[in-house]
Amino acid sequence: MVVLKTDREIAKMKDAGRIASMALKLAGDAVEPGISTLEIDGIVRKYIESEGALPSFLNYGGFPASACISVNNVVIHGIPSETCIIKNGDIVSVDVGAFFEGFHGDNAATFACGDISQEARALIDATRESLYEGINAALAGGRIGDIASAVQRYVEARSYSVVRDFVGHGVGAKLHEDPSVPNYGMAGRGVRLLPGMTIAIEPMVNMGTHEVKVLDDEWTTVTADGKLSAHFEHTIAITSDGPIILTQCDGAID
């Protein structure tokens, strides 16, 4: 069941989104050669808790950390570790959520460590832009498929693929709510977009095949062919005046 939010509830979600977006920025600022993903996770947790919020992901479904940190061919749900040391040329996807005064904010971005290849840079740029293509299609009166189709068209026109086994989702008092928000599909299909809906749009884009596999830890998800993957996400609200990005604030990522 899709839960529509009041203006007051959307304002609360924007507060949660501000915390999540600043935590994500701090994580990105920390990406440099020699740092471990566990150290970055500590930065995220410290900031979120300093704002009087809780990390949305910590112990969610048994996940053992405050952020998902996924390096190179890891698509999503990378578990931070002191032995995972980031190197020059890596790309690092960080997914962060914050729970504040009853609501969640959820966002993600992929960051470059030092000098990355032109191919990696192009993948990151295309994934970021596909997110905004999806956001621009999130108009009241439209359908979820409008978002999905906009993302898919942009990505596939650049010869990348969108992950199909994992999708975006509603966000609110629960981290994951209805509806599901795929990154592929047909315009004009799916759930109607109504004012008051709050959803996370999150393209996960692979350089090669769209197929992925989950490792034995039951979290870490990698590309099936070992090629690079990038991930961007914003939580947005559907309004009669167009979509509003809730995970955005001064100094945070675009």
pLDDT in tens, 27-41: 999 999 999 999 999
pTM: 0.96
Closest CA to 203 of 124, 142, 146: 124
Residue 151, pLDDT score: 98
Identify the helix (H) or strand (E) that includes residue 106: strand 103-112
Q: What is the pLDDT of residue 249?
A: 67
Q: Which among 160, 57, 146, 61 has a CA at the least distance from the CA of 108?
A: 57
Sign of the Cα torsion 241, 1, 57, 210 reads negative
pLDDT at res. 254: 52
Fill in the DSSP letter of residue 171.
Answer: -
Amino acid sitting at position 8:
R
pLDDT in tens, 129-175: 999 999 999 999 999 999 999 999 999 999 999 999 999 999 999 99
Mean pLDDT of the chain: 97
